[in-house]
């Protein structure tokens, strides 16, 4: 079958970029293997290209996880991709009885494959499983014509209620839903700092969940325009921090947010930009007793300005990873299937640009063309079998 891979036999991690389109062995269910009795084989219909896939494309993130897991498996190539919409073509012998899935069912998947036995899994916090594997990073993923997955991770999807191209991005949308579950948003004033793909989703979700005021913060004019189209009341451009103090907040930005909120500050600020300065901006523009949702922060040390403010202002900081399994998925489904909130249509019309230039047929996939598209759009979706399959 065809797949997009990182293949260390062809190119070293440190000196390459992009993915390789190549023919690999089609996965199959191997019944004598006990685990495969609870697995399914899925024909991929569509697959979303994620921010973390961008990290892999430019070799900025996940190198250790990919190379380490390849060492463990004694392999050289990793099939990338974890945002899936597909059709089940074969089920292991225990799947239907245990999970209810049958061949022909259309599914998405949770991308974190949890162990089910660690402390977090046992106390109901499986989204922070201590031994999870991530599809397309620490195990083979869905940028391929077929993928084999454990049935326990799958999420049934009704294509009469969700457009297929949108259903392919339920997983990253769910990430933004999870961030919006961290604090009550109804009737609240919310700042979303960083209007990349997840920030744009968060604007739609905050609006759908009843936030009264949404302040976007974004430097890129194209993304700022998308944020306005999706329902941000105002989008402010932060100043870049001084080169010798990249952690510094922008006092002018904070003043503008205070002016927009009767001098109080926002109830909830979401840091989705991935810069130290963005975290400090979030802390400084949040009202006393408010919530700061941390989503974008990267590896390494960060500086928190006036750290006593976090304590003295009674702020609550939340780190958000993945999706609560499957609580977040239930809310995700409700937000997408309810057409009256306009979310599903906005994802297709605005974030996916009405399908123009954002849908890429795997059959005609070419590296340079694809790189241009992932630079031009917040979200690009690969079409494998499509809906007809
Ligand atoms: Zn993703
Ligand atoms: Zn676990």
The whole model's pTM is what?
Answer: 0.97
Report d(CA 212, CA 205) in Å as an integer.
12
Confidence of residue 366 (pLDDT cuts 50, 70, 90): very high
| pLDDT surpassing 80 at residue 282 | yes
What's the gap in Å between 346 CA and the centre of ligand 1? 19
For residue 285, the CA-to-ligand 2 centroid distance in Å is 36
pLDDT at 329 > cutoff 90: yes
CB atoms within 10 A of CB 34: 10
The residues spanned by each domain of the chain are: 2-169+352-383, 174-319
Expressed in angstroms and rounded, the spacing between residue 106 Cα and the centre of ligand 2 is 26
Torsions phi, psi for 334 (to 5 deg): -60, -45
Task: Give the pLDDT score at 389.
Answer: 59
In the prediction, which pLDDT does 34 show? Answer: 85
- Would you state the pLDDT for residue 346? 98
Query: Can you point out the beta strands (E) in 199-349?
Result: 213-217, 234-236, 266-271, 286-294, 316-319
Length of the chain: 389
Note the pLDDT tens digit of each residue in 30-83. 878 788 999 999 999 999 999 999 999 999 999 999 999 999 999 999 999 999
CA of 322 to the centre of ligand 2 (A): 14
Q: What is the mean pLDDT of residues 246-260?
A: 98
- pLDDT tens column, 158-200: 999 999 999 999 999 999 999 999 999 999 999 999 999 999 9
- pLDDT(388) > 90: no
**In the CATH hierarchy, which fold is given to the domain comprising 2-169+352-383?**
Quinone Oxidoreductase; Chain A, domain 1 (3.90.180)
CA of 359 to the centre of ligand 1 (A): 17
Ligand nearest, relative to CA of residue 48:
1
pLDDT tens figures, 118-127: 999 999 999 9
**How many A from CA of 109 to the centre of ligand 1?**
11
- Model confidence over 189-206: pLDDT tens digits? 999 999 999 999 999 999
Based on C-alpha coordinates, what's the Rg of the chain?
Answer: 21
Integer Cα distance of 167 and 280 in angstroms:
35
Distance, CA of 16 to CA of 10 (rounded, Å): 10
Across the chain, mean pLDDT equals: 97
pLDDT at 331: 98
Bridge partner residues of 193 (DSSP): 217, 271
Whether residue 103 has pLDDT greater than 70: yes
User: Which ligand sits closest to the CA of 122?
Assistant: 2
Ligand number nearest to the C-alpha of 120: 2
Query: What distance in Å separates the CA atoms of residue 331 and residue 179, rounded to the nearest whole number?
Result: 12
Mean pLDDT, to the nearest integer, of 319-347?
A: 97
Give Cβ neighbours of residue 325 (< 8 Å, ≥ 6 apart): 110, 112, 114, 126, 127
Q: Which CATH number fits domain 174-319: 1.20.1250.20, 3.40.50.720, 2.40.50.140, 3.40.309.10?
A: 3.40.50.720
Ligand closest to Cα of 142 equals 1
Q: What is the pLDDT of residue 343?
A: 98
Residue 3 has pLDDT above 80, yes or no: yes
**Mean pLDDT, to the nearest integer, of 319-343?**
97
Statement: residue 215 has pLDDT above 70: yes
Q: Who contacts 317 (Cβ-Cβ below 8 Å, separation ≥6)?
A: 291, 292, 294, 310
Rounded to the nearest whole angstrom, what is the distance from the C-alpha of residue 110 to the centroid of ligand 1?
10
């Amino acid at each position: 079958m065809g797949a997009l891979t990182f293949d260390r036999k062809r190119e070293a991690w440190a000196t390459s970029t992009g993915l390789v389109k190549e023919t690999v062995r089609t996965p199959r269910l191997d019944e004598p293997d006990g685990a495969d009795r609870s697995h399914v084989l899925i024909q991929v219909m569509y697959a979303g290209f994620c921010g973390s896939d961008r990290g892999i494309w430019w070799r900025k993130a996940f190198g250790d996880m990919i190379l380490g897991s390849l060492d463990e498996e004694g392999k050289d190539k990793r099939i990338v991709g974890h945002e899936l919409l597909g059709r089940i073509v074969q089920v292991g012998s225990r799947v239907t009885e245990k999970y209810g899935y049958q061949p022909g069912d259309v599914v998405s998947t949770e991308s974190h494959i949890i162990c089910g036995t660690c402390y977090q899994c046992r106390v109901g916090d499986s989204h922070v499983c201590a031994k999870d594997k991530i599809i397309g990073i620490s195990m083979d993923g869905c940028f391929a014509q077929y993928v084999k997955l454990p049935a326990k991770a799958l999420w049934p999807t009704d294509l009469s209620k969700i457009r297929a191209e949108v259903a392919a991005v339920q997983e990253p949308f769910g990430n933004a839903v999870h961030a919006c579950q961290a604090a009550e948003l109804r009737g609240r004033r919310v700042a979303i700092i960083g209007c990349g793909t997840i920030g744009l989703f968060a604007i739609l979700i905050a609006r759908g969940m009843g936030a009264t005021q949404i302040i976007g913060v974004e430097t890129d004019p194209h993304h700022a325009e998308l944020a306005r189209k999706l329902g941000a009341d105002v989008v402010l451009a932060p100043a870049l921090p001084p080169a010798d103090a990249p952690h510094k907040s922008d006092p002018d930005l904070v003043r503008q947010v205070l002016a927009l909120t009767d001098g109080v500050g926002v109830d909830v600020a979401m840091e989705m930009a991935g810069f130290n300065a963005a975290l400090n901006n979030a802390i400084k523009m949040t009202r006393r007793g408010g919530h700061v949702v941390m989503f974008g922060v990267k590896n390494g040390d960060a500086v928190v300005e006036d750290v006593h403010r976090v304590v003295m202002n009674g702020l609550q900081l939340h780190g958000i990873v993945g999706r609560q399994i499957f609580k977040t998925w239930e809310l995700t489904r409700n937000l997408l299937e309810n057409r009256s909130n306009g979310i599903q249509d906005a994802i297709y019309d605005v974030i996916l640009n009405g399908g123009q230039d954002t849908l890429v047929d795997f059959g005609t996939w070419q590296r340079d063309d694809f790189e241009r598209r992932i630079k031009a759009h917040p979200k690009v979706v690969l079409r494998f079998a499509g809906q007809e399959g």
